[in-house]
Structure 1
Amino acid sequence: MVDQELVDRIEDSLEQDQDALEADLPGILSDVEGRTDDLVREHPQVMADILSRMEGMDVASFVTENPETADQFQELLWSGMRVMVEQNPEVKDQITENITTNFEADDCPMEGHLRVDEDEETITGGAGQLDDADLTITGPADVLVGLVTGDVDPMTGFMRGQFELDGSMGTATKLAPILNGLSNQLPD
């Protein structure tokens, strides 16, 4: 269970201007660490609000200045998405095969991964790279975050050259609706 004091602190920080939020974010992400699942289950709007504000920031600059926060942010992002998938049969239905994907920012030290598991109908992810991933997506940090949060459509982003893709286009085509389905789970 996430205590109301932490939720209030997060909500207060989210109401501040971008500079103040960026100053608060490392402490908030540190306090949320290990309680992400509970935060998403009990306060999904808070999760959506954090991700929404992250879309408005210069992610590369923030991560460069706070590299440990990149891992904590990914923990929040992927744990949140995993919990949302667990609760939504429509997204589970789109998981029709195993897909592993590495994400690598080309403008800051941020690397992450995503694992889609057909048998378990789950999506997991986090910081760091997987060995022998099916796909590697490389691009600016804000584009990589946008792929997961819905700010960047996977197919349109690829066609516009917003990111590079290494791996099978067929596999990427199967991943795109899953990414779109994830972003649709975020509360407005």
Structure 2
Amino acid sequence: MTDELARRIEASFEKDDDQLEEDLPELLDDIDGQADELVREHPALVSRLLGRMQEMDIAEFVSENPETADQFQELLWAGVRVLAENDDEVSEQITEDISVNFEADDCPMTGHLRTDADAGTVTGGSGHLDDSDLTITGPADTLVGLITGGVDPIQGFMQQKYEMDGPVHKGTRLAPIMNSLSEKAATPQ
């Protein structure tokens, strides 16, 4: 179903960073509403696209394309959600309900994550939850890196790459889930 879209994404890898950044809003617009299906049908391709996007200056991209930030997060969180659904190792680590708000301090990007211990799932999206356990604040590149594996949650906190407000034990329980998700995201399925 998403084969034509996958071909367009594949073609984007041939472009230099400037051209990809210019084409990305339209590409993300076309992905809109098909993110879950795209992740399920082409997980390695989505992983490569997110990796390529991680090489960009996310804060600058979001500042110049604020409407695209939500679409970028839809793709990112679809990948996380599908990974957690399809990997017993990840879902077994989800032993507590944890909710997190993410706030970029260098651009207008907010997001959230929620783990569900009973279902063994991770969900997320743009915008904030009303009653999160944790709030993580930092540069957009760092926040995306926490989700995609570019930033180790514990090392990043210790190196003050981001700030966390809320119970430390919740953050400590979230870290191995995030590490496991990012390891799986980096490994083509």
Confirm or deny a common fold (TM above 0.5): yes
Which amino acid in 2 is paired with 1:75? E
Aligned to 1:124: 123
Matched, 1:50 2:41: no
Separation in 1 of the partners of 2:100 and 2:5? Answer: 32
Which amino acid in 1 is paired with 2:101? N
Aligned to 2:143: 144
Separation in 2 of the partners of 1:7 and 1:54? Answer: 16
Which amino acid in 2 is paired with 1:111? T
- 1:79-94 paired onto structure 2 within 5 Å: 79-94=78-93
- 1:1-188 paired onto structure 2 within 5 Å: 1-2=1-2, 4-186=3-185, 187-188=187-188
Which amino acid in 2 is paired with 1:121? G
Separation in 1 of the partners of 2:65 and 2:51? Answer: 19
Separation in 1 of the partners of 2:156 and 2:127? Answer: 23
When normalised by structure 1's length, the TM-score is 0.97
Deviations 1:72-117 (A, max 9, x none): 0100010111011111000001000000000000000000000101
Gaps of 5+ in 1: none
User: How far does residue 14 in structure 1 lie from its aligned partner after superposition?
Assistant: 2.1
User: How far does residue 155 in structure 1 lie from its aligned partner after superposition?
Assistant: 0.3
Percent identity for Structure 1 against Structure 2:
60
Say what the alpha-carbon RMSD is for the aligned residues.
0.8
Deviations 1:131-164 (A, max 9, x none): 1200000000000000000000000000000000
Give the stretch that moved more between structures: 8-17 or 128-137.
8-17
Determine helix, strand or coil for the equivalent of 2:184.
coil
Runs (4+) of structure 1 moved beyond 6 Å? none
Q: How many residues align?
A: 187
Determine helix, strand or coil for the equivalent of 1:185.
helix
Separation in 1 of the partners of 2:110 and 2:71? Answer: 12
